[in-house]
């Protein structure tokens, strides 16, 4: 379960949908068999979320060689094919790594190298920058209905009953 953090307003601050950074670490026993690519494909297909950028850095278990990609998403998705090529084709993986380390993505090559320097052999780091596209439609509907956003943020709870203090505080803030 993800720890709750202080409520942070995700919407209403900019005209853009909220963006979330997700960072994952993988130990040397991680088994990359296409599950991550499948999850990204499902995210892209759903339309409520959009992957803006995907980053992966891995330190080879044997030689310590760095493998990396930094791919920007497109409006219609499209990360799945390059990710599959990276995963399945050694030449594509080598080219993607060279391009990423040369600064061909959004993250500078030296930043990728620094991330790689912090990895033990066989371990990896993956990061996704995900846009919550659904938020713009909901915000627009609330505004057109005459409402305003009082509170929003990521929470660890899965039931509203667990968030009673937050609900009461939001209600009091709306009344003020």
Query: Same domain, yes or no, for 69 and 28?
Result: yes
Residue 140 within any structural domain of the chain = no
Residue 67 within any structural domain of the chain = yes
Query: Same domain, yes or no, for 71 and 157?
Result: no
Q: What is the average per-residue pLDDT within 22-30?
A: 93
What is the residue range of 104's domain? 19-135
Residue 10 within any structural domain of the chain = no
Query: Same domain, yes or no, for 155 and 73?
Result: no
**Could you tell me which of 55, 49, 53, 45 has the C-alpha nearest to residue 18?**
49
Residue 152 has pLDDT above 90, yes or no: no
Residue 84 has pLDDT above 60, yes or no: yes
Residue 13 within any structural domain of the chain = no
Residue 114 within any structural domain of the chain = yes
Query: What is the SS3 assignment for 14?
Result: coil
- Residue 98 CA to residue 102 CA, distance in Å, equals 6
Confidence (pTM): 0.77
Residue 4 has pLDDT above 60, yes or no: no
Q: How many domains does the chain divide into?
A: 2
**pLDDT confidence band for 66 (50 / 70 / 90):** very high
Query: Same domain, yes or no, for 91 and 164?
Result: no
Residue 8 has pLDDT above 60, yes or no: no
**What is the average pLDDT score of the chain?**
83
């Amino acid at each position: 379960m993800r720890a709750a953090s202080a409520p942070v307003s995700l919407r209403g601050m900019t005209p853009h949908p909220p963006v979330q950074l997700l960072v994952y670490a993988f130990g040397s026993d991680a088994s990359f068999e296409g599950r991550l690519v499948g999850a990204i494909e499902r995210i892209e297909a759903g339309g409520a979320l959009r992957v803006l950028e995907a980053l992966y850095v891995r330190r080879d278990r044997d030689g310590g060689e760095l493998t990396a990609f930094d791919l920007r998403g497109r409006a219609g998705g499209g990360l799945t094919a390059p990710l599959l090529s990276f995963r399945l084709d050694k030449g594509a993986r080598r080219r993607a790594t060279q391009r990423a380390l040369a600064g061909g993505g959004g993250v500078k090559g030296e930043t990728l190298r620094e991330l790689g320097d912090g990895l033990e052999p066989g371990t990896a780091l993956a990061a996704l920058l995900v846009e919550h596209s659904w938020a713009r439609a909901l915000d627009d509907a609330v505004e057109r209905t005459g409402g305003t956003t009082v509170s929003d943020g990521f929470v660890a709870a899965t039931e509203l009953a667990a968030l009673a203090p937050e609900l009461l505080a939001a209600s009091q803030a709306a009344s003020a």
